Amino acid sequence: MEQKSSNITWQPSMVTRQDRNRRNGHGSLALWFTGLSGAGKSTLALTLEKALHDRGIGSYVLDGDNIRHGLNRDLGFSEEDRKENLRRIGEVSKLFADAGLVVLSAFISPDEQDRRMVRELFAPGEFAEVYVKCSLEECEKRDPKGLYKKARSGQIRNFTGIGAKYDVPGSPELVIDTERMPVAEAVQLLLGYLEERNVLANG
């Protein structure tokens, strides 16, 4: 394993996160959407992003598939690579929040320890876990990318929910049951949560 260089020093910015929030007129934090494939994580994140944009709130969606097209295209789906995938996204999410944005990260992130690792990158109040709840049966019915069908036929091994476990979050900030709650209602719930956290100061 390549050794880390000891000749690096963190360079503090002359502009703080608080400065950026004041300039933007709103707060910033990371919302981490976790749940099974097909639960609706990306749909919620993208719809919320549009609602925030319409309110003049700076936001950005980090989506699992999109990230693997670029930043993490060198990673596979082994346990080690999945952990590294989330570590990188956690670090990027932290940078986006520090830049003054509401960052919406949508990743299956099945392992509780990995999600805890990401949470610990942030100061208290800068991170919120959103459990997008949906039964395996319903996710299989939806199967928007045909992944469950491939997993059942053996084309995909260790697929979360089929050959690999998903750790249900023990204490997420929000739980959204997409089998019972329409997208529009869920987005209003998310906006209400952000308002309670004083993130939408100009909303």
Active site residues: 109
CA 177 – CA 183 distance, rounded (Å)? 10
Sign of CA dihedral 105, 116, 114, 41: negative
- Coil/strand/helix, residue 140: helix
DSSP E strands, 6-114: 29-34, 59-63, 102-106
The DSSP result for 10-44, as a single string, is ----SS-HHHHHHHHTS--EEEEEE--TTSSHHHH
Of 58, 158, 178, 170, the closest CA to residue 112 belongs to: 170
What is the CB neighbour count within 10 angstroms for residue 51?
A: 18
Q: 24: which 2 tokens?
A: 């933007």
CA 166 – CA 56 distance, rounded (Å)? 36
Of 63, 32, 34, 31, the closest CA to residue 46 belongs to: 63
Q: 17: which 2 tokens?
A: 């996160």
